[in-house]
Each structure stands twice: as C-alpha cells, then as structure tokens.
Amino acid sequence: MVNTSYKRWIFVAIFLFGIGITLGLVAPVSVANLVAEDIAALKELSGILVPFSALTVIFIFIKNALALLLSFALSPIFCLLPILTLTVNGWLLAFVSVTVSQEESLGLVLAGLLPHGIFELPALIMGEAAALGFGTVVMLALFKKGRRSLLLPGLKRNLRYLMVALALLLPAAIIETYVTPLLLT
C-alpha cells in the first residue's frame, strides 16, 4: 500500500515534470542554442553506444540509476536537485519531441519513447518523489527537534520507493537497447 505522504510527493513530482513539459512546448528557439552543445555531445555518445549490446544496457542503467541516487542523496539541500531533475527532464522530453516531430514525424517520436518510457518515466517520477519526500523529512528534522524521530522511518520508507524506481530502470534500459532500435529503423 502506498503511503499517503508518498502519494502527495508523486503528485508534486508529476506537477514539476508537467511544468517542464510546458516549458519545453513553449520554449523559444533561442533556448535551443543553449543546449546545442549538449545535443551534439549526446549525438556523439549515441555513436559509441550501439544497439543490441549488453554494454549499452549496463551504461544506460548505471547512468539513470546514478542520476536518481545522486538526486536522492542531495535532496536535503532544499530539494533543489529533484526539482531541477523533474523540470529539466520534462523540458527536454517536450523540446526534443516537438523538434523531432516537426523534422520527422510524431510516429518516430512515439516509437522512440513509448517502449522504454513506459518503465523509465514512472521510475523517474517515483524516484524523484522519494527524493522530495526524503529531502523534506531531513530539512524538517534539522529545523524542528520534534520531527527528528521521523527521520529514520522517512528514510526507510523513501528508500523502498527508490528501490522500486531503480528496479524499473533495468527493463527500461533493456528495451531502449534491444527494442527501440528495431522500431526506429
């Protein structure tokens, strides 16, 4: 059963991701120039990561898992990293989707995102919701002595949700490596 306070963090995470998507849909072209170097680096990386390779699965899984773990670990710093992670990922998803659908097709966007996104997006939302919950518990414990007793139970609860999110990243990486390339050809 999902804890009611965790449900609240799920809604907050979805809201922040939605803000990012909205920003990505209305982002001016000049913003695209800010990420042009990042997109070029991603294209270079995509040349190294080959489809149908176990090393690619491992790389994608570790990259995504480390991002979630880092966000969770640093969340007590005013929840800045989870907030940034959710909004930036939402923005990138919308921005890239709009760009690709204008240059290619909406079908290509869906084929490239849906198969692994079914696992990866819930993992992102769940993991960042756990990070937001944990960060908030730590901040409350630091500033209110009466809340310190909630620190360990809050950590345990949010770690359980984080572990589920991390587990979802493995099938996402497998699908992204073995299924998505078949759909994009």
Say if residue 33's pLDDT is above 90.
Answer: no
CB 75 within 8 A of CB 82: yes
pTM of the model: 0.89
CB 171 within 8 A of CB 42: no
pLDDT above 60: residue 34: no
Encode pLDDT of 91-110 as tens digits.
Answer: 989 988 998 898 899 999 99
